[in-house]
Amino acid sequence: MKTHKKELEHTTNAVKPVLSGLLVGSVIGAATALLFAPRSGEETRAEIRDKAVELRDQATETVKDTVSQAKSRVSDVKDNVMDKVEGLKQRGKYTMNKQLDRVSHAAETGKEKVQEY
């Protein structure tokens, strides 16, 4: 379970810089393009507003996708853990039954020995 948790943390930690870089790069690129374009102030402000809305929407989608992927990964890890728990439970039952059979056999053998005397 610790391994899966570490994998999830590693994946999450690896995604953060990518998202940050994407967002910062997009903002810088859009701002640079808008500021150097030959337009009036009003047109430039309108374009900046439109680009800001577009970037916000893109960031929202990226965050939603990342959260969805993280939830999916958590679900996979949970299912894997539950499968392992079930396997361990079955193994425990098998081992317990085997030990009970040994004790029962030993008791039966002891009972027979007592009856022989």
pTM for this entry: 0.47
- CA-based nearest residue to 19, from 57, 58, 62: 62
Counted domains in the chain = 1
Residue 113 amino acid letter: K
Q: How far is Cα 85 from Cα 74, in angstroms, rounded to an integer? A: 16
Look up the domain containing 66 and give its range. Answer: 2-116
- Dihedral sign for Cα 104, 107, 109, 115, please: negative
Does residue 15 contact residue 73 with C-beta atoms inside 8 Å? no
Per-residue pLDDT of the chain (117 residues; tens, 9 = 90+): 556 566 656 666 667 777 778 778 887 887 777 677 676 778 878 877 888 888 889 888 888 988 899 899 999 999 999 999 999 999 999 999 999 999 989 888 888 888 877
Specify the pLDDT at position 12.
64
Give the C-alpha distances (Å, rounded to integers) separating 52 from 24, 26, 70, 79, 95: 12, 10, 27, 40, 64
Specify the pLDDT at position 89.
94
